[in-house]
Amino acid sequence: MLSNLLTLQTKDKVCVLSSLIVSILIACQINSKMTKTGRLSPGDPNSYSRPDIAKVTHIYLKLDINFDQQILDGLAILDVEKIDPKAQEVVLDARGLNIKSILDDSTGKSLKYTLHEEGYIGSRLDIQLPVSEDKKVKIKVDYATSTSCTALQWMTPSQTAGKKHPYVFSQCQAIHARSMVPCQDSPSVKASYTAEITAPAELAVLMSAVRVGEPQTSSTGKRVHSFNQKIPIQSYLIAIAAGDLESRKIGPRSHVWSEKEYVDKAAYDFAETETMLQKAEELCGPYVWGIYDILVLPPSFPYGGMENPCVTFATPTLLAGDRSLADVIAHEIAHSWTGNLVTNSNFEHFWLNEGFTVFTEQKIVGRMKGEPERHFSAIMKWKDLKYSIVDVQGETNPLTALVLDLTGVDPDDAFSIVPYIKGSTFLWYLEYLVGGPTLMEPFLKSYYDEFKYKSIDSNQFKEYFLNYFKNKDLSAIEWDKWFYEPGMPLYKPNYDQSLAIARAELSKKWVNWNMESEPDCPFTSKDMDILSSGQRIEFLAQLLEEAPLSVEKLNKMEQLYNLNANNNSEIKCKWIRLGLKGKWMNAVPRAVEMVTEQGRMKFLRPIYRDLYNNEDTRKIALETFEKNKPSMMHVAIQGLEIDLKIVKK
């Protein structure tokens, strides 16, 4: 990949030489700052942008949602600040964009630009800056997205719950914003934005911003929706959704949105949102984003949630009917500080976003439900981490380190739960070393305040931590091992096992039951009555770590517990996987049904892996994937093509 990048840069220089002399100077600047690894300094390995030369500080979007062509069409006006007073060019990221013209917004004069050959992270877009003594200039880019835009999921009416109107939503993390907006698509760059979005009159439009006024009817009969995000955010947080949506008020600063088929269920399951916000503020400081809404998306959304400011995007698989899966909302609320306010400088330091978020999420849960619940949450996540590192990726895989080298690597290919759980475990360790929550929590609040609105790397966190606790002996911390060594964490917290005891006893009993020597079944249908939803999930997770259960045991378990009828998505997935592990053919059609009815990668990828890894069901896995592929988002397809050995990682 690195040689390809170097070749691309050489081609770029030739192209620029033929079109614009000024660009040669910029290219020389870039070349002079190359490190021995071929990376830009101080750059992001997954972005062409050069914010150290000229930086985008605000974006104004005026876009029409064209469902017929499945594109966004319009313009972006970029406020650009010259960081280098001699800067004559701004470098952006793009992917598949149809650039129609680029103008000096103040004069209307055309600006020369070069859209380079597309590579695995898109294209570099070089734009000549207007000749001006001013430090700040405005550039107008007239463009449209392509039908293959990786940030957008377009749905026909038949694919929606209501079946009457089309739907579109975005998912820009990690590097997909460049396929929707010409931008400096790196988390090291933060910009405010405003937007005017035109959509069919019957549809509601939401963005990761505060709505401004009421939608206005245009001359074409469509409606124009206005938004303002005054807080500078990284490009992957730009988000849009449009569909036949309704809302319900669930708190003083929160509404839940979805198609009407889901909205009341969502209002019930997410009714504790305001309490979560208040607990998060106790831990982290003031909530600065104004509103906190939740949009429950169609089932093809590939994540549990996405922390878009002002409106979290959530999967309908969270709607369990008993609020048992609403902790994901606590996670997304925590991101309001950990990721959105203080941000990893690039995706090599992704644990700074996700590890801190899991750590904070669990503290919110502990404040709401008691400290044993916090520990129980961590116990369940530890099992997920072990599965990811030991069973899937391999303990020597460099992508299981906390701090990665993503030179030549698409961050979507590196995505896993490692930064989430290994990162949060590191923070459990640091909390233990400094003397517990009473000392760690004031530090965290100080850390968020110190680095708010900034993007940082792991060394900056380390330096701030050591300086804050400079009166303590912290020489035991093996920073380099934690940051750079692959495999399981160096430390496992001494978790409170009180909530895990009941499920452990039941799972052990099933494992040890010898059906031949003990023909009388020692279990009853009441076994599950004493377990919470979380404990039931953990009961099945524990069994997944054991040797496969026999088909006879699985049949008996189904007869007693009626797990096939359980619609809690976490229980459903683990029960299916337990059946596939035991080669119980009863599980195969249920596996196919689950990967078809929803697109959340947390469930898709392990079920597809299990189907593929069994020679008897491998063909079913491949055929089901090809059938479902048209309704899946790009990031899910990309991951599954690796899991199913369709492409090499």
DSSP letter string, 534-582: HHHHHHHHHHHTSSPPPHHHHHHHHHHH-GGG---HHHHHHHHHHHHHT
Dihedral angle at the C-alpha atoms of 183, 243, 246, 59, nearest 10 degrees?
Answer: 20
Q: Quote the radius of gyration of the chain (alpha carbons, Å).
A: 25
Q: Is 60 helix (H, G, I), strand (E, B) or coil?
A: strand
CB–CB of 166/67 below 8 Å? yes
240, 245, 219: which is closest to 63 by C-alpha? 240
Question: Measured between alpha carbons, how far is 319 from 322 in angstroms, rounded to an integer?
Answer: 8
Question: Measured between alpha carbons, how far is 379 from 540 in angstroms, rounded to an integer?
Answer: 13
177, 185, 252, 224: which is closest to 62 by C-alpha? 224
- Cis check for the bond before 42: say yes or no (omega within 30 of 0): yes
10 Å CB burial of residue 326 (0-12, 13-18, 19+) is buried
- Estimate to the nearest angstrom the gap between the alpha carbon of 100 and the chain centroid: 31
CB–CB of 205/364 below 8 Å? no
Pairing between β-strand 240-243 and β-strand 204-207 as defined by DSSP bridges = antiparallel
DSSP letter string, 280-296: HHHHH----SS--EEEE
CB–CB of 111/20 below 8 Å? no
Catalytic sites, residue numbers: 332, 420
Pairing between β-strand 71-82 and β-strand 136-144 as defined by DSSP bridges = antiparallel
